[in-house]
Amino acid sequence: MDKLLIQGGRRLRGSVAVAGSKNACLPIMAAAILADGPLTLHGVPVLEDIRALGDLLEELGLTVRRDGDTLALQVADTEPCHARYDLVRKMRASICVLGPLLGRRGRARVSMPGGCAIGPRPIDLHLRGLEAMGATIELDEGDIVATADRLHGAEIFLGGPFGSTVLGTANVMMAAALAEGTTVIESAACEPEVQDLAACLNAMGARISGAGTPRVTVEGVQSLQGCEHTAIPDRIEAGTFMCAAAITNGQVRIERVRLDHMVAVVDRLRAIGVIVEPADGGAEISSTRRLTAVDATTQPYPGFPTDLQAQLMALLCLADGNSVLTEKIYPDRFLHVAELARMGARIRKEGPTAIVTGAKRLVGAPVMASDLRASAALVLAGLAAEGCTTINRIYHLDRGYQRIEEKLLALGADIRRVAE
Ligand code: EPU
């Protein structure tokens, strides 16, 4: 298992390009199950999660070929419909094959995903949506077994106790694309990744309107064709590099960023005192003074994303005053708190809220990555800390950040990967 060694205290300078969005690519790859022709997807980052879904799709009868950042996906066999536990447990997002399998092949057997480090992650809303379209759903030996002759359109409410569901909306939208009649999803997730999926499905011949709003309408069609699509840039990777520039008092140009997807993030960074300037398809991020404490609450899009909560917390560890961070999506997503404390952070957790009291400095320490975004927060803390930080178990990082240490090295960080 690899680990990262970071010698903190270097100001980051230069330019970094953001990869295509992992969370946009995953459901779009699954959408290839629906198409009668080849799907060519550009902007696909080289990540463990993408590879894991590629393996699963191959088991489900697709051919998956990578050429640079382009993936070519095509159905070769429509018989398989079993997403095995072995593959699903490696990556929870595998659940996004459920809707397409059911919609195109009339049956799906998908291992029920378990919980993960960021808390319990139920899929009741996915199942409720598919049932409303006429699917029969049973649980058999830990697998969800879903069947339907042909799904029919329905009015479906997808709001849950924590708001909308991103992959639930994706699953229902994909199943509805080939259903008989019209489906209306109320309280749909508005995330840019859902919009990107709808754009790709429409390019395949689907008839989806309203994606990006809480009401999405899907008029079912008889068949979908292949298409060519470019994934949106990864707003979470972009936000992570923005925090990296800010925490090192650096000056970084981020290429290929969609600031219109990051309004809440830019709002909080500016409130902290970070300068964020749009610059010709990218953004210039700089910070030259002490940071100011702010409050932030994670919410469904367009609110502040839960996937940047840990990184913002790392930044606020060095801001003057008390910051209050409240997690409204995953109330238990705070495993990074105890690791940041090992580096001198002053954080008190009260239920789904963390109160961060800015410290004058952080100090390097050996720390343990617990999940993808928590790992990114530890990297940020390590960049700013005095001395050496060793981050163990970085396979979490490789699930979601393409060559993060090479990108940071190019910006002037003192960082290297070593085999344990
Ligand atoms: N929820 C339910 N019932 C459901 C589905 C979700 O109660 O049937 C709850 C969840 O427990 C959570 C909230 O609703 O409290 C939102 O969950 P959502 O379904 O939106 O999460 P997801 O679709 O499984 C995606 C991202 C996550 C990201 C969340 C929230 C992908 C592959 N994953 O997960 O990304 O945190 O949306 O924005 O798109 C990451 O990239 O690190 C990551 C975890």
- Please choose, from the candidates 243, 282, 271, the residue with its C-alpha nearest in 3D space to the C-alpha of residue 16: 282
* Burial of 155 (C-beta count, 10 Å sphere; 0-12/13-18/19+): exposed
pLDDT at residue 418 in the model: 95
Q: Determine the Cα–Cα distance for residues 77 and 205; give it in Å rounded to an integer.
A: 21
Q: What is the pLDDT of residue 369?
A: 85
- Residue 83 in contact with residue 109, Cβ under 8 Å? yes
What is the model's pLDDT at position 117? 74
Considering the candidates 25, 81, 96, 116, report the single residue annotated as catalytic: 116
Q: What is the pLDDT of residue 217?
A: 98
What's the CA-to-centroid distance between 306 and ligand 1, angstroms?
9
What beta strand segments (E) does 133-265 contain?
136-140, 143-147, 155-157, 182-186, 207-209, 215-219, 227-230, 251-255
How far CA 244 is from CA of 26, 37, 74, 285, 384, in Å, comes to: 26, 42, 38, 10, 9
pLDDT of residue 341: 97
Domains within the chain, CATH numbers bracketed: 2-19+233-419 (3.65.10.10), 22-230 (3.65.10.10)
Tell me whether residue 116 is one of the annotated catalytic residues.
Answer: yes
Burial class (CB in 10 A: 0-12, 13-18, 19+), 236: buried
Q: Is 31 helix (H, G, I), strand (E, B) or coil?
A: helix
pLDDT at residue 121, rounded to an integer: 84
Pocket perturbation via mutation, ligand 1, pick of 88, 124, 165, 306 by most ligand atoms within 8 A of CB: 165
pTM beyond 0.95: the answer is yes
Q: Whose CA is nearest to atom 9 of ligand 1?
A: 162
Contacts of 372 (CB under 8 A, 6+ apart): 396, 397, 399, 400, 401
CB atoms within 10 A of CB 62: 23
User: Hey, is 251 helix, strand or coil?
Assistant: strand
Phi, psi for 224 (deg, rounded to 5): -125, 145
Distance (angstroms) between ligand 1 centre and the Cα of 165 equals 6
Which residues line the pocket of ligand 1, CB cutoff 6 A? Answer: 23, 26, 93, 121-126, 160-162, 165-168, 189, 193, 306-307, 329-330, 372-373, 400
Ligand 1 atom nearest to 26, measured from its CA: 32
Instruction: Report cis status (omega within 30 of 0) of the bond before 302.
Output: yes
C-alpha to C-alpha distance for 334 and 330, rounded to whole angstroms: 9
- How high is the pLDDT of residue 120? 75
- Asked if residues 151 and 102 have their Cβ atoms less than 8 Å apart, the reply is yes
Q: Which amino acid is at 141?
A: E
pLDDT averages per 10-residue partition of the chain, 420 residues:
95 98 98 98 97 97 98 98 92 95 98 77 95 97 94 98 97 98 98 98 98 98 98 98 98 97 98 96 91 98 98 98 98 96 97 97 94 96 98 91 96 94
In total, the chain counts a number of residues equal to 420
Report pLDDT for 115.
65
CA-124 nearest atom, ligand 1: 8
